[in-house]
Amino acid sequence: MASESPRTPKMGSQASPKPNFQGKRPAPHQRSQQGKKRQQKKMRKRERDMKNGSTEEVLSFDIRDLRASLAEAEGDESEAAIIPDESLPPPGSEILLKVVELSSTGDALAIQEGSSSKQIYVLPFAVPGDIIKAKVYRHLREEGYTVADFISVVSAALKRDDARVQCGYFAKCSGCQFQMLDYADQLAHKKRIVEKAFKNFSNLPPDLIPAIADTIGSPLQYGYRTKLTPHFDGPPGPRRNNTATFTKRPDIGFMLKGQRTTLDIEDCPIATDAVRAGMKSERERMDREFVKYRKGATILLRESTKRVSKDGSSAEVELEASGPVVKVETDSHIDWKSCVTDNNGTSTEYIDDYVFHNPAGSFFQNNNSILPIFTDYIRQHIIPPTLSPGTDKDTPVKYLIDAYSGSGLFTITLSSLFEGSTGIDIAESSITFARTNAKANNLPRSQANFIAADAGELFKSVYYPADETVVVLDPPRKGCDASFLSQLLAFGPKRVVYVSCNVHTQARDVGVLVRGEADDGVEAQGTRYTIESLRGFDFFPQTGHVEGVAVLNRVDNNTNLPDTAI
C-alpha cells in the first residue's frame, strides 16, 4: 500500500483546506491546475531521487565494497576514515601499485605496494594481480580515493598477456581497456558488472534477483565496429572571430586516457575494414584540406552495405561509392561495404535477411556481427513461456509495443510473431526511416506501425489490450524517466523486455517495476513484475561496456511478493 503523506489529514482530523476568498470550493479548472502543479512537483522529486548510474556513482560503490572486503580480510570492522592528504604520496610522484580488482567502469582498483595505507587507487590498463608503476595524479578527498596514471607493468598477473594486444595505441587511447585479457575473462568480468549493477542500483532484496546468466560474446573481437567518430581540436592561438589557422594537419583521433588531449591515431583495429579504409581516406583528405578549417570538428565514419545477388552487376556497385570499397562474398550474395562520412547521408545495414536504412549520423547498434544472435535471443524471449509462474496462461500475447524504437530494429525483426506491432520514437526522422524500413522489408502498416511521440505519452497513442501485449524498451543511457515508468505500470503489459546500454540505470528501472512504484512507495501503482532472466551481451569487446537484457513478467492472480519487495 502507498504510505500516507504527512501533509494529508487523516479521517476525523480537524485540518481542512483553506477556503478561497469567496468561501467556495475551487472551480474544476482551478482544481485541475492545482493538481497539475502538485504532480509536477512530485515528478521533479522523483527525478532527483532516482540514481543516475553515472561513472562516478558506479565507481563509488565498487570502492566502498572493496574497502569492506579489505577490512574484513584484516579482521577490522571499523569504518575506514578519510586518510589525510599529507600521509599520501604527493601528486606527480611515482609509486608501485598492487591491483586488487577490476571496477565496473573498466579501470583497476589498487593499493600501494609495501604500504600499510588503506587508500584505494584508481588506474587504467591493469588487471588483478598486476604490480604497476604509476604516477599519482590527484587525491579525491571527499570520494576517498586517488586517481593514478599507468606508466608500466613491473610484474604481470597470470591473466595478463600483452601479446594479445593488437593496437599500437593501447594503454594511451581511452577507447579500449581489456586488450591484454583473454576474451573468456572479459566475458566473466562483464557478468560481474551486471551482478553488481543489480546489487547496487535495483534496491531489491537478493531473493528477487535471479542468477545472472553468462554474457553472450561477440563473434568478432576485433574488426567489429561499424561506426567511429574521431575528432580534431581547433587551431592554437586566438580564436576570436575564428581568425586562428592551422599550419599543419591537426592530430585526428580519440582522447588520450585521463587527459583532455587528442591522440593522433592512424588506424583502429576494432573497426570494420570499411571503416578503417574510410579513416585512412579521411586522414589523407585532411592532409590536403586542413587549411580550410578554423575550428575543431568530429569526423563521421559509418559503414554502409550494398548487397547484390551473385548474378547481379557488381561492377556498377563498385562505382557507386566515392571512397574505398570492401568486398565481402558469401554463397548467395556479395556485400559491397563503403564508409559514409556525411552526417546527412544514409547508411544501409543488413541483419540476417532484414535491411535497415538509417541517417548515417544517427544511433544504430555498432556491432553487426552480434546483432543476429542478439535479435534471435530477443525473439526467443519476447513471448512468455507457457508455464511462466504467476501469469495468466490462457491469454496469449498478440501485440508488441516498441518504445524508443529508433529506425525500427525490434519492431521489424519481431513483427512476424505478433498480430500487430507499434514502434514509437520522439524523433520524427527516426519514424520516417522506420516506415521506410518496414516497406523495404515488405511489412504492411497493420503489422509494423510507427508513431512519432514522446515515450512518456506513448500509451495514449496505442490501444492494445494490456493482457495481450508485450513492451520492449531500449532507452538511452540515462534510462527511463519516472513519468514513463508510472505510465508503464498503469498500463501493465503482460511482459516487458528491457534492453539497455547502461545496466546500472537498467537495474534502477527494473527495481521500480518489480516494486510496482515509481517514487519509493509514495504512489504504488498496483502492478508489479518479477524478473524472469538477466543477461549481458558483449557488443564492445576489449572495452568495459556491456549491454543488458532483462525479461520481466507481470504478477497476476494475486501472486504475493515477499514483504521486503514492497
503-515 vs 482-491: helix crossing angle, rounded to 10 = 40
Beta bridge partners of 333: 309
At residue 179, φ and ψ (nearest 5 deg) are: -65, -20
- CA contacts within 13 A on the Cβ side of 538: 27
- Residue 437's closest CA among 541, 515, 346, 528? 346
Residue whose C-alpha cell reads 561509392 in the numeric block: 321
339 has catalytic annotation: no
Structure-block grid coordinates of residue 296:
575543431
Instruction: For the chain, report the end-to-end CA distance as a whole number of angstroms.
Output: 8
379 near 413, Cβ under 8 Å?
A: yes
The dihedrals phi and psi of 107, each to the nearest 5 degrees, come to: -85, 160
Backbone torsions φ then ψ of 41, nearest 5 degrees: -65, -45
**Residue in this structure with the C-alpha cell 501493465, named with its chain if needed:** 492
Cell numbers 540476417: residue: 352
- Is 404 marked as binding a ligand? yes
DSSP class of residue 72 equals H
* Residue 456 DSSP one-character state: G
Task: In whole angstroms, give the CA distance from residue 252 to residue 262.
Answer: 7
Kind of pairing, strands 449-452 and 420-425? Answer: parallel
Grid coordinates in use for 245?
589557422
For cell 611515482, name the residue: 94
Unique residue bearing C-alpha cell 544504430: 364
Q: What is the CA radius of gyration of the chain?
A: 27
- String of DSSP letters for 430-478: HHHHHHHHHHHTT--TTTSEEEE--GGGGGGT----GGGEEEEE---TT
Kindly tell me the burial class for residue 560, based on how many C-beta atoms sit within 10 Å of its own C-beta (0-12, 13-18, 19 or more): exposed
Give the three-state DSSP class for 272: coil
382/396 Cα distance (integer angstroms) = 12
The CA distance from 58 to 185, in Å, is 21
The torsion angles phi and psi of 414, rounded to 5 degrees, stand at: -105, -5
Cell of 320: 557507386
425 carries a ligand binding annotation: yes
All three cell numbers of 421, joined, read: 506491432
Say if residue 474 carries a ligand binding annotation: yes
Q: Is 214 annotated as a binding residue?
A: no
Q: Which residues is 547 bridged to in the sheet? A: 537
Phi, psi of 564, deg, nearest 5 = -65, -15
Could you list the residues known to form a binding site for S-adenosyl-L-methionine, using ranges.
365, 404, 425, 474
The residues that are catalytic are: 501
